Amino acid sequence: MLTNKILLRNSLQKNQNSSIMALLAQIASFLMVAFIAVFHSSLALSLFEWSCMQGLLASFISYYLRMPLWWVFINLLFTPIVVITLSFNISPFWFLLFFVCLVSIYGKTYKTQVPLYLSSKNVTTILETLLPKQRQFSFVDLGSGCGGLLNDLADSHKNGQFYGIESAPLPFLISRIRSVFQVSNCKIFWGDFWQHDFSKYDVVYAYLSPIPMESLWQKASKEMRSGSLLISNTFIIPGITPYKSIHLRDFSKSTLYLWKIP
Ligand SMILES: C[S@@+](CC[C@H](N)C(=O)[O-])C[C@H]1O[C@@H](n2cnc3c(N)ncnc32)[C@H](O)[C@@H]1O
């Protein structure tokens, strides 16, 4: 339990650093642009052009700070998108609603650095072929999103027990509503999978991000039973060779990596 907490803390520290660095890049570039605007008043740019300049500077700073590529893009596009959106005359209610939805989907991403994106149908098809057809087994999806993958697998494998753990409120709510109309061998919990014991699962599936993979391996290899299976969609575990890799022809060209616990 203590090791889990240390692993989690290290992972969170890395993640929070990126969010803080992104914020600093935004503030620094904003100040630079404000400085240019004040002291070079001959530069007659539109608000959108200023925002593009700010975005470019923010992305240069984040690139220079060696932040992950997706932060460079976020910093590049953030202010220009805000300016474009404000130019449409939209009622503030929709912004509030949109903001609440975003927070309840992505609000914890600054901590976990695992945003919501969903496994493709090809992933479901391949997982269906990998899971046992006759014998009983248990499967967990770490961060189960809106529950689509789990419900499809639970539907096709009545011999399995399927569990999902999701920390984002809106995807969790959607998956709960979905499971009311769905199969009974699928249970989805709201919570943090780092606090969850993996020892009762035969298959652990993770579609996360590069950040937590090292910590995930340490937790999985400590808690999962020998012979059980860890499957990661897209993200490798640094330094640990999977025993099998399956390349998929879906929109994101994903690869499923499989590790057997020794
Ligand atoms: C990339 S999505 C994958 C969704 C789903 N598993 C799929 O394959 O379609 C990752 C999900 O993990 C959730 N998540 C991230 N960290 C988590 C944590 N520590 N505990 C529970 N859920 C988490 C996110 O909210 C997000 O919905």
pLDDT tens series, the chain, 262 aa = 445 444 545 555 555 577 788 999 999 999 999 998 888 777 788 999 999 999 999 999 999 988 888 899 999 999 999 999 888 888 889 989 999 999 999 988 878 888 899 999 999 999 999 999 999 999 999 999 999 999 999 999 999 999 999 999 999 999 988 887 776 899 999 999 999 999 999 999 999 999 999 999 999 999 999 999 999 999 999 999 999 999 998 888 889 999 999 9
Distance between start and end Cα atoms, the chain: 21
Helices (H) and strands (E) in the chain, counts: 9, 7
Instruction: Tell whether 110 is covered by a domain.
Output: no
Instruction: Tell whether 113 is covered by a domain.
Output: no
Candidate of 116, 121, 165 to mutate for ligand 1, largest count of ligand atoms within 8 Å of Cβ: 116
Residue 61: its H or E element? helix 47-64
Looking at the structure, do residues 253 and 211 belong to the same domain, yes or no?
yes
Look up the CATH number of the domain holding residue 173.
3.40.50.150
CA 213 to ligand 1 center in whole angstroms? 13
User: In the 8-state DSSP scheme, what is residue 195?
Assistant: G
Q: Is 111 exposed, middle or buried (0-12, 13-18, 19+ CB in 10 A)?
A: middle
CA 97 to ligand 1 center in whole angstroms? 22
Residue 39: its H or E element? helix 2-39
Looking at the structure, do residues 172 and 254 belong to the same domain, yes or no?
yes
| Atom 25 (ligand 1) nearest CA | 168
Q: Pocket residues for ligand 1 (CB within 6 Å)?
A: 112, 114, 116-119, 141, 143-145, 149, 165-168, 171, 192-194, 207-208
Looking at the structure, do residues 59 and 154 belong to the same domain, yes or no?
no
| Atom 6 (ligand 1) nearest CA | 144
Candidate of 15, 146, 166 to mutate for ligand 1, largest count of ligand atoms within 8 Å of Cβ: 166
Looking at the structure, do residues 134 and 248 belong to the same domain, yes or no?
yes
* pLDDT score, position 90: 86
Q: Is 60 helix (H, G, I), strand (E, B) or coil?
A: helix
Token digits for 168? 């984002």
* pLDDT score, position 84: 93
| Atom 2 (ligand 1) nearest CA | 116
Residue 154: its H or E element? helix 148-156
Looking at the structure, do residues 76 and 146 belong to the same domain, yes or no?
no
* pLDDT score, position 2: 46
CA 44 to ligand 1 center in whole angstroms? 46
Q: What span, in angstroms and rounded, lies between the C-alpha atoms of 124 and 130?
A: 10
Q: From the alpha carbon of 141, which atom of ligand 1 is closest?
A: 6
* pLDDT score, position 17: 73
* pLDDT score, position 13: 53
β-strands 229-233, 244-247: how paired?
unpaired
Total domain count, the chain: 2
Looking at the structure, do residues 131 and 225 belong to the same domain, yes or no?
yes
Count of other CB atoms within 10 angstroms of residue 227: 9
Looking at the structure, do residues 137 and 225 belong to the same domain, yes or no?
yes
Q: From the alpha carbon of 206, which atom of ligand 1 is closest?
A: 6
Q: What span, in angstroms and rounded, lies between the C-alpha atoms of 52 and 23?
A: 17
Looking at the structure, do residues 200 and 81 belong to the same domain, yes or no?
no
CA 121 to ligand 1 center in whole angstroms? 17
Instruction: Tell whether 108 is covered by a domain.
Output: no
Instruction: Tell whether 73 is covered by a domain.
Output: yes
- Domain residues for 80? 2-89
Strand partners for 127 = none
| Atom 11 (ligand 1) nearest CA | 143
> Which of the listed residues 89, 106, 140 is the one where a domain comes to its end?
89
